[in-house]
Structure 1
Amino acid sequence: MNLRFVEAFYWVASLKSVTRAAEKLFLTQSAMSSRIATLEDELGVLLLDRSDKQFRLTAAGTRFLVFAEKLLALQRDAKTEMGAGTTIAVAMRIGAIESVLHSWLIPWLEKLRGDHPGLELELTVETTPILTDQIQRGTLDLVFAASPANADGVRTYTLPPMDMAFVGNPTLHKKRNYRLDELAEMELLTFQKGSQPHVTLLDLFRQHRLEPKKVHAISSISAMVQLVQGGFGVALLPRIATQRLTGFAKLKLLTSDTQLKSLPIYASYRTDPTSSTVDTLVKSAVEFAGGSISGGAGTKKGARKP
């Protein structure tokens, strides 16, 4: 039995799409379909229900998926045992929100480059909804976002949350401490509408029966920083990102009398029985992020620590 054909079936079943599985394995859709058809001929059963456009495994396909995962895991373990799996030499598609990018992601990637010189990275920086959709569709292998991705074959770790802080221009905001009602009179900048920071900021004012003068929704931290530098307003940003940016940006952390809700961060990734690469990277990210943010380690949601 050709294990490349077994791998093709595994990804078709996991991603629930021949097209997305073909993209994952860098194959044409016709080549992917041919591999599945050849495997079906060898097994003597149909694995995919082709009666309509909706993706479905047959009963035989559902049973064989269990064997496929075991076969691919056995192949991976054999390669590792024989020494063929000691060097990472594959491409990893990683996605992250801007808050992670401007905090610990770049130092972590620099560490990865030193630890695994054979690793080729594809980096995508997007909003949480887009990232979770892409990991669910299989177009990314690992994402760091503000909410977990829920899908078959996707695991999630909870990383240390990021403390949030108001940031202003030091030439304009000179007070040591700002009350929430004073901040409500300023023009405020936060992330896009519907994001956790945007929602929690509005909730914070509602809880104190305050109506903010104006809240601008900006998806880019870089844009918010430039606006704050230009005196446009006060931004709500992750404290760790602000500390990294103060080296080249004119910013000031504003002390407030109100406790701000932290930004949750999750690492979601697709399990891959053919390779331990993603597990190695997730373990590295959990340890690095924990040390960078809080000196602790992330915790796993729904599975063992990698």
Structure 2
Amino acid sequence: MNLRFLETFVWVARLKSFRLTAEKLFSTQASISSRIAALEDELGVRLFLRDSKGVSLTPEGRKVLEYAERMLDTMQALKQSISETGSIQGRIRLGVMDTVIHTLLSPFVTKVMEVYPGVEIELTADTARNLCEQLQKGYLDIIFQTDVLRGDGVRNLEVARYPVQWIVLTGSIYDRGYASIDELAKERIITFSKNSRPHQDILNLLHAGNVAAPRISCVNSVAAMTRLIRDGFGIGALPAALVHEELKQGLLTILDDVPQPPALDMVLTWRTGVGLELSEDIVALAGEVLQEYARQMGDSMITLLPFASDQETA
């Protein structure tokens, strides 16, 4: 039995799409269909049902999937037992939110390249919501985002929190004491993109403080937010880790006399299954890099969560 055809079958079952499988395996839809047809002929059963809603497994297909994954898992274990990490080839499709780009990404990518020099890193930067959609569609392997994602073959690890503070230009009209959150909310607030987790947290905080109509500017770029705050456009609501250098230089100041916004969670989410073992190893590397980053930055910039919070969804 052709293991390549079995791998194709597993990916069609996982992604529920011949087109997405073709993209994943760098092939064509015609080639994918041909492999599945050949496998069906060899086994003497129909593996998939195709209709307007997409592709789904037949009862026979579900039985075959169980055995196919075992066979591919055994083959992968054999390959790993006779190879070193430096000889591992492949590609990892990594998705990161903007906060990670400005904090953790550089040391993380450096670590991955050091341990797996033969692995190509394909990087996508986007909002947490868009990253989750792309992971579910099979376009990404690992994402750094803000919420636990439910879905078949998906695992989540809540790894850290970035404390979020009110940050202003030092010496500006915003650099003063505020008697309440209501008084602060009369000024323009700068935070992350609309409907993002941080934006929703800010709205909830202000609502709890009976703020009826806050002036919020939603920006989808950390660099743009930082520039607006430095130009005195308003009060920033973002993790202090993103403006660590500006705070250190005294260019920006944290307002600490009013309730602070909720912390920004960081969740590692990745696809699991046969052929995706490299993702597990790279997630472990992320944990090592996080430990070192947190040690350097301190709890005021990032707080690690126990990795025991790992949870698998089915």
- The alignment's TM-score, normalised by the length of structure 2, stands at 0.89
Deviations 1:120-161 (A, max 9, x none): 111111111111000000000111111122221111111112
C-alpha deviation, 1:280, in angstroms: 0.6
Aligned-partner Cα distance in 1 for 2:271–2:205: 35
Shift in alpha-carbon separation, 1:178–1:161, aligned structure 2, 3 A: farther
Match of residue 255 from structure 1: 256
Aligned-partner Cα distance in 2 for 1:23–1:178: 56
Shift in alpha-carbon separation, 1:65–1:256, aligned structure 2, 3 A: farther
One-letter code aligned to 1:294: T
Aligned-partner Cα distance in 1 for 2:246–2:109: 18
- The alignment's TM-score, normalised by the length of structure 1, stands at 0.91
Residues 290 and 297 of structure 1 are in contact (CA less than 8 Å); yes or no, is this contact kept in structure 2? no
**Ranges in structure 1 where 5+ consecutive residues have no aligned partner:** none
Shift in alpha-carbon separation, 1:248–1:44, aligned structure 2, 3 A: farther
Match of residue 239 from structure 2: 238
Which one is further off, 246-255 or 89-98? Answer: 246-255
C-alpha deviation, 1:285, in angstroms: 1.1
Aligned-partner Cα distance in 2 for 1:246–1:301: 33
Shift in alpha-carbon separation, 1:199–1:296, aligned structure 2, 3 A: closer
**Ranges in structure 2 where 5+ consecutive residues have no aligned partner:** 295-301
Aligned-partner Cα distance in 2 for 1:43–1:69: 16
> CA RMSD of the aligned region, Å?
2.3
Deviations 1:211-257 (A, max 9, x none): 45511111111111111111111111112222156578943222233
Matched, 1:264 2:265: yes
Match of residue 298 from structure 2: none
Q: 1:140-219, aligned counterparts within 5 Å? A: 140-172=140-172, 173-175=174-176, 179-211=180-212, 213-219=214-220
Match of residue 310 from structure 2: 301
C-alpha deviation, 1:271, in angstroms: 1.2
Aligned-partner Cα distance in 2 for 1:257–1:82: 58
Aligned-partner Cα distance in 1 for 2:233–2:251: 13
Match of residue 21 from structure 1: 21
Which one is further off, 239-248 or 36-45? Answer: 239-248
Shift in alpha-carbon separation, 1:95–1:275, aligned structure 2, 3 A: closer
Matched, 1:286 2:295: no
| Corresponding pairs, count | 304
Shift in alpha-carbon separation, 1:51–1:136, aligned structure 2, 3 A: closer
Match of residue 34 from structure 2: 34
Residues 159 and 299 of structure 1 are in contact (CA less than 8 Å); yes or no, is this contact kept in structure 2? no
Residues 136 and 149 of structure 1 are in contact (CA less than 8 Å); yes or no, is this contact kept in structure 2? no
Aligned-partner Cα distance in 2 for 1:290–1:182: 38
C-alpha deviation, 1:298, in angstroms: 3.1
One-letter code aligned to 1:57: L
Shift in alpha-carbon separation, 1:52–1:230, aligned structure 2, 3 A: closer
